[in-house]
Amino acid sequence: MVLRERYLFVCLNQRPDDHPKGSCFVRGAQQVHAALKQELGARGLAKLQARACTSSCLDVCSQGVTILVEPDHIFLGGVTVDDAAAIAEGITSGEFPARLVLSRDTIDRG
């Protein structure tokens, strides 16, 4: 097993369509995960720097598709397929797009 510098856990939790919290899956998380894997691979980051993994609920349902970046303990929310390149760039630069980074207050509200 190769230990990477970062792991990006993309929530793929799926709830019934009428659930009040919604779910990342119905908001396109599966497509976000695929785009992120593709982008990391295309940039040569997938081997040592980062791996896009799937997870179940990350408890920040109100924030759209959510990604937990470890070991940084950074939550990204409202992520779309179009954000994959910016997130991959964040792996390289160490700074993720501010518009996606969730504040501690937002995370605590879930």
Q: What is the pLDDT of residues 38-70, one digit of tens each?
A: 999 999 999 999 999 999 999 988 888 999 999
Position 1 in a domain: no
Q: Report the DSSP pairing between strands 50-55 and 6-11.
A: parallel
DSSP state of 21: T
Is residue 106 very low, low, confident or very high in pLDDT (cuts 50, 70, 90)?
A: confident
Picking from 23, 108, 101, the residue whose alpha carbon sits closest to that of residue 64 is 23
Position 25 in a domain: yes
Position 93 in a domain: yes
Measured CA distances, 95 to 26, 28, 47, 92 (Å): 28, 24, 20, 8
Position 71 in a domain: yes
- Rounded average pLDDT over 82-105: 95
Rounded to two decimals, what is the model's pTM?
0.92
- Which pLDDT score is estimated for 110? 61
CA dist., res. 87 & res. 39, Å (int): 9
* DSSP letters for 59-93: S-GGGSS-EEEETTTEEE-S--GGGHHHHHHHHHH
Domain count, the chain: 1
Residue 15: give the domain boundaries: 6-109
Cβ-proximal residues to 15 (8 Å cutoff; 6+ apart), any chain: 21, 22, 23, 25, 26
| Total number of residues shown for the chain | 110
CATH number reported for the structural domain that contains residue 35 in this entry:
3.40.30.10
